[in-house]
Amino acid sequence: MLTKRIIPCLDIKNGRTVKGVNFVDIRDAGDPVELAAAYADQGADELTFLDITATIEHRKTMVELVRRVAKEINIPFTVGGGISSVGDVAALLKAGADKISINSAAVKRPELVEELAQEFGSQCVVVAIDTNFIDEEWTVFTHGGRTPTSINTFAWAKEVESRGAGEILLTSMTSDGTQAGFSLEITALLSENLGIPVIASGGAGTEEHFAEAFTKGKADAALAASVFHFGTIPIPQLKNYLSKKGIVVRL
């Protein structure tokens, strides 16, 4: 059985780690370099860094900050925000990223997924999907959850897989920051029907929520921010809990 992964997420705005509820009401959560080092020490399996306003502000991800974070950690490191070309990805990988995450740029031009997979390998390409339950359907949103599309989430996940994505980062806007639990139905739908890993994101509030993401949601990994940034659930404690539940994690 494959080991389930625990992934802290650093949402970055103006060089600081921030966290909101339902993608709004943003508050400061600390220095990203210090947090990254602490999470690596605590036993996080991977780290994700999302420059959440890069696309909105029409600029590239902060490469120098990525470089500073990469120097402090020894675990796989995914970076997203403002990425729209092969050149962008090359610069981030050179700065120390192991994988990149694309969202809005992939929706705008799906061929980008293929170009990046061909250039860097599928294992490097994470497609982030921000989804909200609107009119009885899970729908894709772009630009940090600000812009709705007419794209069905499941259909989009299948398409990006066919284009070479190596992993899906699925964030439920309905649950994000609420600490009320992951959106298990849509997570399970993707996990059961895709041949690539699905990372559950949005809504973690308790240790049980993580267990549900792996059991009911069938996710390969679970990503969270608030519960880690504000000390609600220490990573070693979470992993011990999951292990006792029979969920295979790296201790």
Concatenated DSSP letters of 150-217 = EEEHHHHHHHHHHTT--EEEEEETTTTTT-S---HHHHHHHHHH-SS-EEEES---SHHHHHHHHHTS
Active site residues: 11, 130
d(CA 32, CA 64): 12
Residue 65 has which token pair? Answer: 């900050």
3-state SS, residue 232? coil
* Single-letter amino acid code for the residue at 98: D
DSSP state letter for 4: B
